[in-house]
A and B are shown apart, each in its own frame.
Chain A
Amino acid sequence: MPPLFALLAMLVLFPFPAAAQDEVNVVFLNSDPVVAVHSNFRGQTVTLFGNIEPLEGAPAGPYGVVILVQGPSSDWVVREKARQAGLVLNSASARYAQTPSYYAILSSSPLAQLVSPEIIDRQRLSFSGLAALTRQAGDPAGLDPEFVRLMRSAGNFIEGERSVVMHSATSFSARVPVASNAANGLYLARALIIADGKVIGETTTRFTVRTQGFERYVANLARSNALLYGLATILIALGTGWLGGVLFKR
C-alpha cells in the first residue's frame, strides 16, 4: 500500500476514547504485522500476546484483559424488505457511516463480570453501542439489532467472552481470526487491563491486511485510474474475441 493510502487508512480509523491513567505497564505484540491476502487466501489467525507489568502501588489483581480489534471503516446500509402490491421490495433503510468493517471484542472472562456497564459504554465494548454511535441522524434505530446481527454473521463483528487466555497471572494471548474477505488496511488492537472493575492500563498494537499481487493491482487500478482500466478491459475483450476467431476458424 502506498504511504498516502496508509496515512488515509489511519485517518479514517474510528477514534478510540482517551486513555485512562495507567497503573500497570503492558507489553503487547502480534504474530503477523502484515497479513498478505493472496488469490487463494482462505483466512488467517493473528495471535496477539502480552504481558502485564504492575507498577508500584498497582492493584494486586487478579487481572482481567479485554482486547478490542478494529479494522478500516466503511459505510454500510441495512435495508428491510417489505411487501408492496404483492412484490417484495426494499423499504426502510439505515446508514452506518464510517463503521469499522472489523470489530472484535475479546475478553478473558464475560464482560459483565469484568467491568461495569458504564465502562462498556465508554470503551465501546458493545456492538449495539457502536451501531447507535455511527448510525446516520434520522435513520430508524430499529434496524440497529439487524445491523449487528448481519455484521456478526458476515464475520465482521466478533465476540469472544473467553478468547483471551491468561497463561499466568500476568501473561495473556488471544487469537484473532482474519476472514478471507477482510478489508484492506490498518487493524488496531487495544488491550485493556482490568482489576476490580476498573481499567488500570492499556496499550495498542497494529497489523496490516493487504491484498497482494495481481488482484490488488486490478482493484487499485479500477479505483484510481478508471479511465485506463475501462479502456484496458475493452481491449482485452476485443483481443480475446479476435484470438478466439483466429484459433477456431469458422
Chain B
Amino acid sequence: MPIYLPIAELSVDVFFLLGIGAAIGFISGIFGVGGGFLLTPMLLFTGVPAPVAVASVTAQVIASSTSGALSYFRRGAMDEKLGGFLVLGGVFGSALGVWIFGILSAMGQLDLFLSLGYLLLLGSVGTLMFIESARSLLKRNREKPAVRRRLPGQIPWVQRLPFRTRFRKSQLYISVLPVMFIGFVIGIIGALLGIGGGFVLVPALVYILRVPGKVVVGTSLLHLIAVMAVTCFLHALQTQSVDTILAFCLMVGSVAGAQFGASAGQHLPGEQLRILLALLILAIAIRFALGIVIWPDDPFTLTKLGFGES
C-alpha cells in the first residue's frame, strides 16, 4: 500500500516504513538506545532526501524516548535539575547545528558531510563496542566470575571548574559548565546527523560526570526529548523538511517494536547481542565509506530547490 510523503515528495510502501520502524524499535528496545543512528542511514539508503531524513527522524526520536522517559520519571529515576542544565546547553547546540545544516545544504555538501559524520561516529562507536564486548565475552569464557571493572577516577580539571552546584538526585556537587557543554555537543551532533545521541550521552554522563547508573538513563531520555523537540521545531521553521507523515509511520512501528525488543532483550544473551549490534553499526559505517569513495554511476545530480534554499 503506497503512501505519499508530502515533504519528501515520494511514494513509499507504508508497510515498508512500519517495518523498518519496528525493526529499529526492536533493536533499540533490546539495547536501550534511541535508534536514530540506525534509522537516519536506513532512510538515506532508501532514497529519502537527506534534509527530510534528518529532520523527520528527530520527531521519531521524541516518540521513542517518551514512553521510556515516563516510566523512569514515575520511578523517580531521573535527575530533573541535571537534565535541565543539559537541555540548556543542548538547545544552543541544536540551534547551532540546524544553522550549520542550512549552510551545508546550500553549499551542496550535505550528503558528503552526513556520510563523513556517520562514518566517523558509527565507525568509532562500532569499533569500541566490538572490542569491549569481544573482550568481556572472552573473559567470561575463561573465568566464571566477571571482574567488575573499576570506574576511572575523577577527572581533576572537571572538578576545579567554577559554578559548582549540588545535584541531589545524582549525589553530585559539580560545576554546571561541563554539564552544559556535554548537552551542547550532543545537541550539535543530534541536529546535524538526525540522531538523539543517547549512545554518546550515556557514556559521557557516566565517565566524565560520574552520574550514578540509577538516574543516568532517565536523565539522558529527558535530554533527548527536550533537545529533539527543539531540533524538530527549528528544522520545521528553517529547512521546512520535517515530514510528519513519514515520521508518524516510523514512530508507530518503532514504539510497538521497542516494547517487544525490551521484553526480548531480557531473555537473550547480552554479550553476543552486543557483538551483533557492533557488527551492524560497522556494516552501516562501511556502507557510508563506500558511498564517498566509489565513483557513482552518474556523476551528475539534479536537485529541485525548495523553500528557503538557495
Contact of B294 among A88, A180, A232, A245 (CB under 8 A): A88
Contact residue among B68, B245, B303 (Cβ-Cβ distance under 8 Å from A76): B303
- What sequence of 0s and 1s flags, for each residue 53-85 of chain A, a beta carbon within 8 Å of any chain B beta carbon? 000000000000000000000111111111100
B248 an interface residue at 8 Å Cβ cutoff?
yes
B300 touches A215 (CB 8 A): no
Q: How far is the CA of A89 from the CA of B110 in the complex (A)?
A: 10
Interface string of B103-132 (1 = CB under 8 A from A): 000001101100000000000000000000
Which of A88, A90, A234 contacts B293 (CB under 8 A)? A88
Determine if B6 and A90 form an interchain contact, defined as CB atoms under 8 angstroms apart.
no
Q: Is the CB of A87 within 8 A of B292?
A: yes
Instruction: Take A93-B108, A218-B6 as given contacts and tell me if A76 and B67 are in contact as well, using a CB distance cutoff of 8 Å.
Output: no
Is residue B285 contacting chain A, with contact meaning CB distance below 8 A?
no
Expressed in whole angstroms, the Cα–Cα distance for A24 and B207 within the complex equals: 84
* CB pair A233 B259 closer than 8 Å: no
Cα distance A49–B177 in the bound complex, in angstroms: 72
Contacts of B71 in A (CB 8 A): 245, 250
| B156 interface contact, C-beta 8 A | no
Tell whether A223 is near chain B: CB-to-CB under 8 Å. Answer: yes
The minimal Cβ–Cβ distance linking B294 to chain A, given in whole angstroms, is: 7
Residues of chain B contacted by A80 (CB below 8 angstroms) = 299-300
Report, as a range, how many residues of chain B touch the other chain: 35 or more
Size of interface on A: residues with Cβ below 8 Å to B = 57
Q: Which of B236-291 contact A (CB under 8 A)?
A: 236-237, 240, 242, 244-245, 247-248, 251-252, 255-256, 258-259, 262, 291
| Residues of chain A lying within 8 A (CB to CB) of residue B307 | 223
A76 adjacent to B295 (CB under 8 Å): no
Task: For the complex, give the distance between the alpha carbons of A215 and B259 in Å.
Answer: 30
On whether the beta carbons of A241 and B4 are closer than 8 Å, the reply is no
B253 to chain A: closest CB distance in Å?
Answer: 10
Q: Which one of A112-120, A147-155, A192-200 is at the B interface?
A: A147-155
A181 CB within 8 Å of chain B: yes
Cβ of A5 to closest chain B Cβ, rounded Å = 14
Query: A1 at interface (Cβ–Cβ under 8 A)?
Result: no
Q: Of B63, B70, B245, B258, which contacts A218 at CB under 8 A?
A: B245
Which one of B7-15, B147-155, B168-176, B197-205 is at the A interface?
Answer: B7-15
- CB pair A89 B109 closer than 8 Å: yes
A-B interface contact total, Cβ < 8 Å: 178
B108 surroundings in chain A (CB, below 8 A): 77, 79, 90, 93
Q: Which of A83, A93, A181, A227 makes the CB contact (< 8 A) with B295?
A: A83
In contact, A240 and B244 (Cβ under 8 angstroms): no
| Contact status of A237 and B245, CB under 8 A, knowing A74-B304, A78-B300, A81-B301 | no
On whether the beta carbons of A241 and B63 are closer than 8 Å, the reply is yes
A108 contacts which chain B residues (CB < 8 A)?
Answer: none
A75-B305, A101-B304, A244-B259 known; A229 and B70 CB under 8 Å?
Answer: no
With CB as the reference atom, state the residue of chain A lying closest to B255. Answer: A244
Known: A79-B108, A90-B109. A233 touches B232 (CB 8 A): yes
Question: Which one of A38, A154, A218, A237 contacts B251 once the chains associate, using CB atoms below 8 Å?
Answer: A237
Any A CB within 8 A of the CB of B181: no
Does chain A have a CB within 8 A of B65? yes
Contact B251 A241 (CB under 8 A): yes
Q: How far is the CB of B238 from chain A (nearest CB, A)?
A: 8
Q: Would you give 5 A-B contacts (Cβ < 8 Å), ordered by A?
A: A80-B300, A151-B302, A223-B240, A236-B59, A240-B66
9 smallest CB-CB distances across A and B, nearest first, come from A241-B66, A245-B67, A230-B236, A244-B255, A248-B259, A219-B6, A237-B62, A150-B302, A241-B63
Chain A contact residues, CB within 8 Å of chain B = 37-41, 74-83, 86-90, 93, 101, 143, 146-147, 149-151, 154, 180-181, 211, 215-216, 218-219, 222-223, 226-227, 229-234, 236-238, 240-245, 248, 250
Add 18 more A-B contacts to A81-B299, A230-B237 (CB < 8 A): A40-B11, A81-B295, A90-B301, A150-B301, A151-B302, A215-B4, A215-B6, A218-B7, A227-B236, A229-B242, A229-B244, A230-B234, A234-B62, A234-B233, A237-B59, A241-B255, A244-B66, A244-B67
